[in-house]
Amino acid sequence: MFPKKVFESFQNIPTPFYYYDLEVLKEGLRRIKAESEPHGYQVHYALKANPNITILNIVKGYGLGADCVSGNEVKRAIEAGFDPRHIVFAGVGKSDEEITYAIGCGIFCFNCESMQELEVIHKLAVKAGKKARIALRINPNVNANTHKYITTGLEENKFGINLWELESVMERLPELKSLELIGLHFHIGSQITDLTSFKSLCLRVNEIQGWFVSRNIKIEHINVGGGLGVDYHEPDKNQYPDFKAYFSLFHEFLEVRPGQQVHFELGRAVVAQCGTLVSKVLYIKKGQNTNFAILDAGITELIRPALYQSYHSIDNLSKKFMPAGSVPVLRYDVVGPICESSDCFRKAVDLPETERGDLIAIRTAGAYGEVMASSYNLRDRVKAFYSA
Ligand code: LLP
């Protein structure tokens, strides 16, 4: 993954830091474009995965729209030069200020998650003297077969309007004259690696569309959300998800009505593999049954393993360029410096014998890594570096 030259350039950068390989990012985007365009799909980038301006500038250059979940994300997308007409705004808890701001920006659409939210957007649109375009985010009750914390499309989740509420929402909607219903929105979860979950989504969307068609309600836009997973175990072997299989599945199973536009909101699949958290070994310490490799990065830089028990591939970069077999392989619990036992990147990791000062790469960290960093223990905010 890392050519020696890149590794050498790391020597002068204070650790820990995020390193982004922009060529990997661009190749992923090129593939997304190549596989989505023939179907006429509009792909939005979910800023929540990584809102760094350098990354946004590149993503925008490939013609993606922006999927935002806060007023500040809408603001960041506009600063990065995304056309407001290609910005969608989702989230169960949009504040009045955020809604008013987004109405003022003329965003493409609010993905609305409850009856009460529709009323509030309407009231604020009236106040602004504008019409707000909306899509109903419907909870399709489809299982994404992923970690429960990143499952969003089941009735037990807080997201979306439940199917049994649709009737009453559609009765009320015509009275809200400052809202223009333009679409339906769905998102069942994240890090979905079994594509059959997306097939189930398509079939459910088809049924729901039938409900609207039978009532003569025209829906111009279908937004199927994001969620395409990446390979955390073998990032070098599978650097890019199978975008062809992904978009083709929707082409095969989603019934698109004449004139309808299909939208996607990909986050992780766009940026995960281009990012690596680079950290230095501070100490090696003997535990009862293990060796601890204590890094200068922890849950404050990458919370995913602690929060979702997620797996990240870990390499000792300092030993990578040594002749094969010249260093024995030992087993380590790779942990951080934070005062919590959850501050552990992975247990029982086989690494070439590791020493104080070695550089460690924690891979597939471009999505939901840096952006979820915190300053717990009053830690400095982690910095980002980009490939030339
Ligand atoms: N659209 C909506 C409405 C979403 O809620 C999300 C992610 C996406 C799109 C983008 O999903 P993606 O393509 O990235 O899977 N922090 C967690 C992931 C949280 C995902 C939240 N919503 C993690 O590190 O795994």
CA of 368 to the centre of ligand 1 (A): 8
Is ligand 1 within 6 A of the CB of residue 267? yes
Beta bridge partners of 112: 136
Is ligand 1 within 6 A of the CB of residue 157? no
CA dihedral over 41, 44, 49, 55, signed as positive or negative: positive
Task: Write down the pLDDT at residue 141.
Answer: 82
Structure tokens at 182: 């333009």
CA nearest ligand 1 atom 7, residue: 190
Ligand 1 atom closest to the CA of 226, numbered from 1: 13
DSSP collapsed to 3 states, 66-107? EEECCHHHHHHHHHCCCCHHHEEECCCCCCHHHHHHHHHHCC
CA dihedral over 124, 94, 153, 88, signed as positive or negative: positive
23-272 is classed CATH 3.20.20.10: yes
Task: Write down the pLDDT at residue 153.
Answer: 67
Q: Are 383 and 18 in contact (CB under 8 A)?
A: yes
Residue 137: which of 90, 169, 191, 85 has the closest Cα? 90
Q: 275-286 and 359-362: which strand pairing?
A: antiparallel
Ligand 1 atom closest to the CA of 185, numbered from 1: 3
CA of 369 to the centre of ligand 1 (A): 12
Q: Does pTM surpass 0.85?
A: yes
Domain spans, the chain? 23-272, 273-386
Is ligand 1 within 6 A of the CB of residue 137? no
Q: Are 124 and 116 in contact (CB under 8 A)?
A: no
Ligand 1 atom closest to the CA of 266, numbered from 1: 13
Task: Write down the pLDDT at residue 4.
Answer: 87
Ligand 1 atom closest to the CA of 147, numbered from 1: 25
Task: Write down the pLDDT at residue 375.
Answer: 96
DSSP annotation string for 198-225: HHHHHHHHHHHHHHHHHTT----EEE--
For residues 367 and 46, give the distance between their C-alpha atoms in angstroms, rounded to a whole number: 10
Report domain 273-386's class: mainly beta
The answer to whether domain 23-272 and domain 273-386 are alike in fold is no
Residues in the chain, pLDDT under 50: none
